[in-house]
Amino acid sequence: MQRRNFLRLGLGAVVLGLAPLSVMAKNYREELPEVWKIKNKSDKPDDLSGINEAIKAIFGTDKVEEGKIELYKTPDIAENGAVVPVNFKTEKASRIALLQNANPEALVAIWDIPELGIPDYGVRIKMAKTGTVVVVAEIDGKLYKASKLVKVTAGGCGG
Amino acid sequence: MKKLIITATALSFAFVSANALQEVAKIDVKDVCKVEKVGAPKALEVAKKYNPEAIKLGVEFKRLGIKNREYIKALEEAIKAKKKETVVKYKSKGKEKTKKFDTNFLAERACKFAVRALQQVNEAEKTWRLAVPGDGFKY
Amino acid sequence: MKKKIIASMIIGSFALLSAGSFNAEAEKDRKALTEYFVKKFADRKNASQYFPYTPKEELDKNFKWGLKPEEFRLGSYAFNKGGRAQYEEIIEMPPYEDAIDEGKELYEKTKFKNGKSFKDCFPKPEIAGDYPKYVKGKGVETLTTAINSCLKENGEKPWKMTKGKMAKLEAYFAAASREAGKKVNIVIDSKEAADAYARGKKEYYSQRGYLKLSCASCHVQGAGQRVRNEYMSPLLGQTTHFPVYRLKWEGLGTLERRLKGCNKDQGENPHKPGSKWMNELAYFMAYMSNGLPVDGPDVRK
Amino acid sequence: MRIKAKSKGDITEVKAVLKHPMLSYDQAKAKGKEPNFIVYINAKVDDKIVYEASTSQFLSKNPFIKFKFKGNHKGKEIVISWIDLKGNKKEGKAKIK
C-alpha cells in the first residue's frame, strides 16, 4: 500500500538492499521497518543503550568515533519539549541518523545525502523529557557522532 | 475631589456587602478554620458564609483546577453523610473529573480560602500602590 | 496609610484637572514603569540588587543587558539569551503565517446575513494598536470584544474569545498593523476612561488568589526572575505582540486567553474573557506599552 | 506547505513547513485517535533528488525542515513531497529565489 503510493509519486524505482550512497529514492520506513521500533531502555538521560542498538541496526556497526559532525543551534534547555530545534552539519556524509533517548523509541530520522546534498540540516523534534540527542554520520564507510544533553521541563506558565 | 474618593471606595464595595469585608478584617483564620478546634461542620459554615461574597467580588480561590465553591459543595455532602473522605467533582477543560481529600483537611482549606480571599481584598486596599513604580514603589 | 492614598489621589486629580488631560496619571505611570525596566536591565553591575535570587553564573552567561524600551516587546526573550536563540530559530519560518492568511480571508470574505461585512465595522485592518479602547456607553472594548460587538450588531453569533477564528482575524489585524508601521496608541480622553484605567491599574497591582500574587509580583517586581524554568516577562511591551502562537498551546491565542491563564496561576477562579475586569486590566496594560511598535503575531513559549 | 528557497552563490538553502499533526503513538492514544505522521520526505529540482529524509513520530507537529544543496538554481522550481504512515501524500512547489 505504502509502496504503491510511493511509486505513484513518480520517484522511480526503489532500490532494494543497502547501497551506501543512493542516487535514487530510499524510504527507510520500508527498507528497515524494524529500526523504528527500537526502544530506549531506561529513563536515564545518559543511558544510550537504546540509541546504540538503533545505530547498529541502521549502519551494521556500533563502532562510532566522536567528531567530524557538529550539533549546533540545539538548546541546553528546551523552551518546549514539543518543539526542540536541532541543527547539525558535516563536510560530507553518505547517511546521517538522528536519535535521542527522551521518547519511547530512539530513532528520529535518517537522511540519505544525495549527490548535490550539503549535509547542513535542521529539524524540530519532540522530546518527552530531558535526554541526549545523538547525530551519527556515515563518512567514507566510518561512523562519527556528536551528542548533546537537552533539558526539558514542563514548559510555560498559565493556560 | 470628594467625589473621586467616594467613587474609588464605592467601586470596591459596590457589589458586596461592606459588612463581610469588615467582619473578615477581625477574623483570625487560624481560629475560625482550625478543624481540630472547631470541627469540620463549623469550618464549613464559615466557608459557606464568605465564599459567596468572594465570588461576587471576583476573588474566589481556585486550586488544583478546583474552585472553592466546588470544594464546599462536596464537603456539604460528605459532612452530612459523616464521611472521612470527600470526593470533589469538578470540570477541567470540559472533562468531568474527581479528586479525593481528607474531609477535615478540606474543610479547613475551604474555610481559609473563603476568608483569605476577602481579607486579601482589604489588604490590597492598603498595599497595592506600594508596588506601583512612580507611586509607592522606589526603584 | 489611608491618608497617604487619599493625598496621592488628590494630587493626582489636581494634576488631572490642571493639565486638562485625562491621561496624566497613565502617562506618569508609563514613564516610571519604562524607566524602572530600563534601569533594571541596564547592566550586569547592579544586577544583584534587582535579581537577588538568580545565580551569578546565570546573570553572567544567559542575560543580555542594556535593553532599550523597544526591546521589551520581545518579552523575556529581550534578556534571556538561551530562549532568544530558540525563538529566532522558530521565527525563521513562523508557525503563525497560515493564520494571517486565514485571518485575511475572514476579514475580506465573511459576509454577514444582513449583507454587511467586517469592513463596515473596521474599514482598515491596521487597527491592532488602537485597542483596547474606551467607548462611551459601552466601557472598555478590547480588539476581541470589538470584533464580537461587530458580529452581534450585525445579527451574527459572537465568536469564542480565546482562539480559533478570533485569533486568526486578530493575527491579520496585527500583521497589517506591523506592516504599516503602527504603534500602540491607547487613548484616555474622558473621565470615564481615566476611571477605567485606574481600576485596571489597581487590579494589576492587587495581590489575589491562594498564592497571594498580584500581576505585578511576577511582571513588574518579578520580571526577569525565574520560577522553575520560566523567566517572567516584563509588563512593558507585554500586549504589543498578540495574538501569540504559544509552543505550549501548539496554536494561536488571544490576549484574553493568556490573561485567563495568568489569573488562574495566581490561584484564583479566573475572570472571564470579555468581562469588565479583564477588559479594564488589558486597557491599563496596553497603555503601559503606548508608543511601542505593534509586533504581533509572535511566538512564545 | 510553506517553502522558502534561495540561491546564493553556489549554494541553495531551503526552509519548509509541512502541514501535518504528527500524532505519535503515545499522543494518539491519549487523544483517542489513530497515530499518523510523515514517514518520508524528499525534495527535487529538475527531477533530481536534492534532499531525502525518512522520518518518525518524533518530528514536531507541522514539521519544519531546513537544508542546503549545491548549485545556484535561481528561477527553477523546487518540489517537496511527503508520505505519511497511512499513505497520504502531498506535494508543494516554490520558485527558488
Question: Span B81-105, mean pLDDT?
Answer: 93
Chains B–C, number of C-beta pairs less than 8 Å apart: 95
Q: Tell me: do C136 and C218 sit in the same domain.
A: no
Helix or strand (DSSP H, E) at C63: none
**Residue B46, in any domain of the structure:** yes
Structural domain of A33: 28-152
Selected residue of D54, D57, D72 to mutate for chain A interface (largest A Cβ count, 10 A): D54
Whether A6 sits inside 8 A of D40 (CB atoms) is yes
Query: Residue A16 pLDDT more than 70?
Result: no
Predicted TM-score (pTM) of the model is 0.87
Question: Span A47-66, mean pLDDT?
Answer: 95
DSSP helix, strand, coil percent of chain A (3-state; round to 5):
15, 35, 50
Whether A79 sits inside 8 A of C83 (CB atoms) is yes
Q: Tell me: do C248 and C291 sit in the same domain.
A: yes
Q: Which residues of chain B neighbour C270 with C-beta distances below 8 Å? A: 62
Q: Tell me: do C207 and C59 sit in the same domain.
A: yes
Q: Tell me: do C143 and C189 sit in the same domain.
A: no
SS3 assignment, position B100: strand
**Residue B70, in any domain of the structure:** yes
Tell me whether residue C215 is one of the annotated catalytic residues: no
**Residue B77, in any domain of the structure:** yes
pLDDT given at position C5: 53
φ, ψ dihedrals at D7, nearest 5°: -100, 135
CA distance B19 to C3: 22
What's CA A36's distance to the chain center, in Å? 10
pLDDT given at position A159: 67
**Residue B139, in any domain of the structure:** no
pLDDT given at position A109: 98
Q: Tell me: do C63 and C192 sit in the same domain.
A: yes
pLDDT given at position C203: 97
Structural domain of C275: 9-94+185-300
Using a 10 angstrom Cβ sphere, with 0-12 exposed, 13-18 middle and 19 or more buried, the burial of residue D20 is buried
**Residue B133, in any domain of the structure:** no
Which residue among C93, C98, C250 sits closest to D64, beta carbon to beta carbon?
Answer: C93
- For the segment C207-221, what is each residue's pLDDT rounded down to a tens digit? 999 999 999 999 999
Q: Which residues of chain C neighbour D64 with C-beta distances below 8 Å? A: 93
Query: Residue A113 pLDDT more than 70?
Result: yes
Q: Tell me: do C133 and C201 sit in the same domain.
A: no
**Residue C1, in any domain of the structure:** no
Q: Which residue ranges in chain C fall short of pLDDT 70? A: 1-20
Instruction: Specify the CATH number for the domain of residue C232.
Output: 1.10.760.10
Whether D61 sits inside 8 A of C250 (CB atoms) is yes
**Residue A12, in any domain of the structure:** no
How many domains are contained in chain A? 1
Q: Tell me: do C90 and C104 sit in the same domain.
A: no
Query: Residue A37 pLDDT more than 80?
Result: yes
Instruction: Specify the CATH number for the domain of residue A144.
Output: 2.60.40.2470
Query: Residue D53 pLDDT more than 70?
Result: yes
Instruction: Using the Cα atoms of residue C272, residue C273, residue C275 and residue C280 in order, give the sign of their dihedral.
Output: positive
How many domains are contained in chain B? 1
- Picking from C128, C158, C179, the residue at the C-terminal end of a domain is C179
Structural domain of B86: 2-121
C248 near D CB under 8 A: no
pLDDT band at residue B93 under the 50/70/90 scheme: confident
CA distance A137 to A94: 7
B10 near C CB under 8 A: no
How many domains are contained in chain C? 2
Whether B126 sits inside 8 A of C1 (CB atoms) is yes
pLDDT given at position A23: 45
In whole angstroms, how far apart are CA A5 and each of B46, C140, D42, D49, D64?
68, 56, 14, 18, 23
